[in-house]
Amino acid sequence: MKTRTIFGVSLSLILINLAAIMEKADENLLPSVYKEVSEAFNVGPADLGYLTFIQKFVQALSSPLAGVLVLHHDRPTILALGTVCWALSTAAVGASYRFWQVALWRAVNGFGLAIVIPALQSFIADSYEDSVRGTGFGILALVGAVGGTGGGVVATIMAGQEFWGIPGWRCAFVMMAIFSSLIGFFVFMFGIDPRELYKDLTLEMAEGSERANLLAAGYASVPSVWSESWRAMKTVTKVQTFQFIIMQGVVGSLPWTAIVFFTMWFELIGFDHKNSATLISLFTIGTSMGSLLGGFIGDGLSQLHPNTGRIMVAQFSALMGVPFSWFLLMVIPQSVSSWSIFAVTLFFMGLTLSWCATGANNPIFAEVVPIKHRTMIYAFDRALEGSFSSFAAPIVGILSEKIFGYDPKSVILPSGSPKEAFALSRGLVSMMCVPFALCGLFYTPLYWTYKRDRVNARNAAL
C-alpha cells in the first residue's frame, strides 16, 4: 500500500496535521467566548470552570479506549470517528439554550477528543525516526497552534457581532463543526495507517532496516482484543519512566488548564475583543514556535546526551513558567495602557514554556514501550494527566470568587471590571507558579530510569 504525496509530503501526514489544526481550534473555541457564555447563561467563573472540568474529565476517563481501538482498527478510521463526534457536540453547544445542555455536550466533546488525541500522537510517533521524532511532534504542535490561534481569534471577533439575528459566538460553534466534519471525512477516505506501510517496507526489504522490521513486528496481529488490551495496560503502567512523567504531568498540566481564563481576564481588564484576541494569539504563536523549537532542541541534545538531553530540555521549560507567570499576573499593571508589555511577555512566555511535550514527553513515550503499545501509553498519559488537570479550571473560578472576591454581578461587559480582573489574576497565579515549580522538580528521577526503560523496550521488540 503506497501513500500519496503532495510536494514530497505524505498526504496522510498532511491530513493528520489538518486534524490537529481542527482539534486545537475546537479546544480554544469555548474559552475564547467565556464572557459571552457567562452573559448568555448568567454564570460566573466557577460555573465556566465546571464546563472545562466536565470536558477534560470525560476525556481523561475515555482516553484508554483509543489504545484499545488502535490494537485492532486502523487509525484513520478511529480519527474520523472521533472528529465527527466532537464536531456534532460542538454544533450542539452552539444550539443550546440551557446551561445543563452545554455541560452535556461538552462531555460528548471530551469523548471525541479522547479518541482522537492519542491516535494522533501515536501516528506521528510511528511516522518519524527516533532522532527526529521531537521535530515531528513540534511540527504537529505548530500546525495545531495555527488552528488554536485561528479558532480563538475568529470566535473572539465573531462573539461581538450578530449574524442573521443569531449571536456570533453560536455561529462560530456551528462553523467549526462543519469544517471539523469535512476534515474527518477526508482522513477516513484518504488517510493510510503507517503500520500498513511498515508491512510493505519489510516485504520489499528482506534484509531491511532494523526500524522497518521492528515496526512491522511490533504491529503483528494479536489473538484477542481483551487479552492484548490488558497486556498493554500492564506493560505501560509498569514503566517507571512513564510513572514519573505522569507525576510531573499531573501538576504541570494544571497551569495550562488555568490559562483558558486568559481571554476573560484581558476583557475584564478592559481590552476589547480584537485586542484580547491579539494578545491570546501572540501567546499561541509563541507556544507554537516554542513547541517546534523545543522538539528541535530535544532532538539535538538527545544526540549529544542520549540519556539526559531530553530531560534537561523539559526541566528548563517547566521552571521558566514560574518567573513568567509571576511577572504576567502580579507585576504588570492591569491596565489597557499595558498592552505592549502584555504582548511581549505573552509571546516569550509561550516560546519557553512549551518544550516539555515535543522535546521530551512524547518522544520518550515512543521509546520506552513496545511499538504496538504506543497509542496505549499516549492514551494513559491523557487519562491520568487529564483527570487531575480537569480540576484546575473550577479551582481557579472558586478561588477567584470565594477567596479573592470576584463578583459576577459586578462585571461591566463593555468597559471591563478592574476589581474582578484583579481577583481572577490572583486565582490564576495560585494555579500556575507552584505547579510549574513542582513539574520541573518531578522530572529529576528520569535521570535514573529513562536509559533502563528504553533499553528494555528495544529488547522486548527484538
**Any bridge partners for residue 6, and if so which?**
9
424, 406 in Cβ contact below 8 A?
yes
* Residue 131 predicted with pLDDT over 90: no
Question: For residue range 219-246, what is the model confidence (pLDDT) as tens digits?
Answer: 444 455 555 556 666 667 777 888 888 8
CA quadruple 167, 169, 172, 177: dihedral positive or negative?
negative
- On whether both 286 and 355 belong to a single domain, the answer is yes
Q: Are residues 177 and 261 in the same domain?
A: no
**Considering the entire predicted model, what is its pTM?**
0.70
The answer to whether position 199 is within a domain reads no
Domain containing residue 256: CATH number? 1.20.1250.20
Q: pLDDT tens digits, residue range 303-312?
A: 888 889 999 9
Residues 242 and 105 in one domain: no
Q: Which domain holds residue 88?
A: 8-192
Confidence at residue 37, expressed as pLDDT on a 0 to 100 scale: 76
Three-class secondary structure assignment of 124-174:
HHHHCCHHHHHHHHHHHHHHHHHHHHHHHHHHHHHHCCEECCEEHHHHHHH
Kindly tell me if the per-residue pLDDT of 413 is higher than 80: no
Strands 5-6 and 9-10: antiparallel
pLDDT above 70 for 390: no
Residue 203 in any domain: the answer is: no
* Segment 167-173 mean pLDDT: 79
Cα 339 from Cα 293, distance rounded (Å): 26
- Together in a domain, 292 and 390: yes
Q: Which residue has the higher pLDDT, 304 or 144?
A: 304
Question: Which residue would you say has higher pLDDT here, 412 or 317?
Answer: 317
Percent of the chain residues topping a pLDDT of 90? 10
77 against 300, higher pLDDT: 300
Mean pLDDT over 74-90 rounds to 81
Distance CA 401, CA 398 (A): 5
- The closest alpha carbon to 299, from 241, 360, 350, 377, belongs to 360
From the CA atom positions of the chain, what is the Rg in Å? Answer: 22
206 falls within a domain = no
* 306 occurs within a structural domain: yes
Is residue 372 one of the residues assigned to a domain? yes
User: Are 187 and 242 in a shared domain?
Assistant: no
pLDDT per residue as tens digits for the range 318-371: 999 999 999 999 898 988 888 999 999 999 999 999 898 888 888 888 788 777
Query: Mean pLDDT in the chain?
Result: 76
357 found inside a domain: yes
Q: How confident is the model at residue 17 (pLDDT cuts 50, 70, 90)?
A: confident
**Between the ranges 219-228, 362-371, 396-405, 434-443, where is the mean pLDDT highest?**
434-443
Whole-number Cα distances in Å, 296 to 149, 286, 449: 22, 15, 23
